[in-house]
Amino acid sequence: MLDIWSWICELSNLDEGDSRNVLELARSGQGQETKIIQLIAERASGSNTDTLMTFTICSHGFDSSNVQMTIWVSDTCPLFSPQPFLPLLLQLLQELISHSPTAHDSTCPRSQLQKLKPDPILWIMESHSLESFSSFFNQVFLMRLFWLCVCDSPSEVGSLYFHSLLAPNIEALSCKHMPVLRTFFIAVGVDVEQCFMRSLGYMITKWLILKELGVGLQTLTPDQNLGFSYATEAHGFWVLKGYAPVLGMKLARYKGHKYRFPVIEAKESVIRYALAHQQLEAVIQFEYSVTFYDGFLQVNTRVDNIRLHVAKLGFNENENVHYAEERHFPSRIRFWVGPEVGATYVAGVSLGRSTNNGEKEMETQKIVKGSFEKSKVQSVKAVARTSTRTRTKNWRWDQDTEGNAAIFDAVLNDDMTGLEAATWKPHSGVTSKSRHGLQNRYAGANRPFTKTGGLVFAGDVYGEGVSWRLSKEMEGSVLKWRIGGQVWLSYLPNEVKSSYFETRCVEWCDEVDLPLIRDKSSL
């Protein structure tokens, strides 16, 4: 795997006579047909006798003149400063954020994002090992190079980038075992985090579309997770955040052609292309507390907020305007929280919600009509009417346990057919004219989603929380508490006539801290 950061760090140790150093990023062809993308580092003397370094990304062999073409030039880096390449990283991050496909309805457009402050980035560079930080920098560099080669250069440059640079280094985008990325998001804030992950999601989406087209990009295994999640603990909150481009989620149920956009009919192809440029963004937030008793400790938690948003990854507000309301929607949410596997210090777990038995309201109406005519026989007519009213909700919530972990499960039901949306599958012979209760799901007073296709649950909707009793001996320690979740996204036609549907699933899991330390004010 290409290690760009290690190569850059070695530049400050080279002799002053090595004024120009070249790192070949990608190559294809031989002889006069050779095509190259390379990174060039050049030294120059500054006005204050300091040595400056400039980085340039160039392409070679992509036109008939065979002239080297400059794609990008960095700001100057003071080579003998404590962190000489901080300006380089700041520039890459700032340009990466400015290219983000921010959602059309975003209240924070790219033009309003302030410049990144150097202090948090400097702290990240100094507080992580070379190996750990190298993975983060390589990811940032590959993402910035995507916009340069794929979007701002001739198509041949983009093709070489996908085949010879991204394909061998696809593991750099998986975000696995990358603590620096988590630290970076906490340091720079949620606005920068969203821009970064939408840029990454757009890049992964293009990669996966090309893979489905069958153009030779077959190095990515189907079960490889290219999304990202992380969990934090602060101020009595546990928060799990997750991102997943739709095409990177596991396909659980579908109707249509699984692969190869060109072989399906034009209308379905356009719909699927629009659906592909979407990304799930999830926040699962718990409120927790610890109560100290004479013989035991009690850990309490309740759902504070669940926020799911399906963001559109695009730049043009009028792009795919005929399918603007065709998007995936959350159809099931399953998440869990509890002590680490094998924990022996938990005496028991208590749930806060019992299994709900459905209620029905029976309404009986009797109407008696009589008439008195001038005949000898009295005429009386009676009519009796009986009606049944059933209270239903779009979402059903359940609690359960697995070991000592508490499980929260929410399932979306189709109020027309009564079926679960995540497992919905039309019978054979169903046509594009078939209707379901989730059509026009983003309009009307009883819609189950926000106008932008998202979903928000607050604690008052969910109900009571859960609790664990812990051994008194655990007081004063900081435990690892696991938190994870699964989200299913489904697509059913909304405003178009189509028989295509699908359901995809993604799973995240992480750990958070549980401090069992008594507050001094309570002593």
Tell me the C-alpha distance between 112 and 93, whole Å. 16
State whether 34 and 93 are in the same domain. yes
Distance separating alpha carbons of residues 32 and 37, to the nearest angstrom: 15
Which of residues 205, 226, 247 is at a domain's end?
226
Total structural domains within the chain: 2
Q: Going by DSSP bridges, is the β-strand pair 20-28/278-292 parallel, antiparallel, or unpaired?
A: unpaired
Q: Is residue 400 located within the same domain as residue 496?
A: yes
- Whether 338 is covered by a domain: the verdict is yes
Whether residues 151 and 271 share a domain: the answer is: no
pLDDT at 37: 94
Rounded to the nearest 5°, which phi and psi values hold at 466? Answer: -130, 165
CA atoms within 13 A on the CB side of 249: 32
Residues 287 and 426 in one domain: yes
H/E stretch holding 10 reads: helix 4-10
164 and 253 share a domain? no
What distance in Å separates the CA atoms of residue 218 and residue 210, rounded to the nearest whole number?
Answer: 10
Q: Does 459 lie in the same domain as 481? A: yes
Residues 6+ apart with CB under 8 A from 468: 298, 299, 338, 339, 346, 347, 348, 349, 350, 404
> Does residue 147 sit within a domain?
yes
Q: Are residues 253 and 213 in the same domain?
A: no
380 within a domain of the structure (yes/no): no
- Residue 365 lies inside a defined structural domain of this protein: no
Tokens describing residue 402: 């697995």
Q: What is the DSSP letter of 173?
A: G
Query: Per the domain annotation, does 379 fall within a domain?
Result: no
Q: Hey, what are 84's tokens? A: 């000489």
Quote the distance between the C-alpha of residue 413 and its chain's center: 24
Return the DSSP state at 85: T
The domain boundary, picked from 172, 195, 226, lies at: 226
Q: Which domain holds residue 337?
A: 237-354+396-523
- Cα separation, 519 vs 497, whole angstroms: 60
Residues 80 and 206 in one domain: yes
Q: Do both 471 and 419 map to the same domain?
A: yes
Q: Give the number of C-alpha atoms closer than 13 A to the C-alpha of residue 102, restricted to the C-beta side.
A: 17
DSSP letter string, 374-398: SSSS-EEEEEEEEEEEE---SEEEE
Structural tokens at position 154: 């001739």
Q: How far apart are CA 423 and CA 490, in angstroms?
A: 9
| pLDDT tens, the chain, 523 aa long | 688 999 999 987 777 667 889 999 999 888 778 899 999 999 887 666 678 999 999 998 887 777 889 999 999 999 888 899 999 999 999 999 988 887 555 665 555 566 889 999 999 999 888 888 998 999 999 999 999 998 888 889 999 998 888 888 877 777 665 789 999 999 999 999 999 999 999 999 998 888 877 655 554 444 456 789 999 999 899 999 999 999 999 988 776 555 444 445 667 778 888 889 999 999 999 999 999 999 999 999 999 999 999 998 876 655 545 676 788 999 999 999 999 988 889 988 998 877 765 555 656 666 655 555 555 555 556 656 665 555 557 888 888 999 999 999 999 887 777 778 888 776 544 444 555 667 777 766 767 787 777 888 887 766 678 999 999 999 999 999 999 999 999 988 877 777 788 899 999 999 999 999 887 655 5
Burial readout 415-454 (b: 16 or more C-beta within 10 A, e: otherwise): eeeeebbbebeeeeeeeeeeebbbeebbeeeeebbeeebb
The two tokens of residue 302 are: 């309740």
459 SS3 class: helix
Could you tell me if 302 and 436 lie in one domain?
Answer: yes
| Residue that is last in its domain, among 226, 251, 267 | 226
pTM of the model: 0.86
Examine residue 412 and state whether it is found in any structural domain, yes or no.
yes
Greatest Cα pair distance, the chain, in angstroms, is: 129
**197, 270: one domain:** no
**CA dist 95 to 91, 105, 135, 372, Å?**
6, 21, 19, 90
Do 352 and 465 form a contact (C-beta atoms < 8 A)?
yes
38 and 186 belong to one structural domain = yes
Report how far residue 161's alpha carbon sits from residue 395's, in angstroms, rounded to the nearest whole number. 45
Per-residue pLDDT, 451: 76
**Domain assignment of residue 231, yes or no:** no
**Residue 369, domain member (yes or no):** no
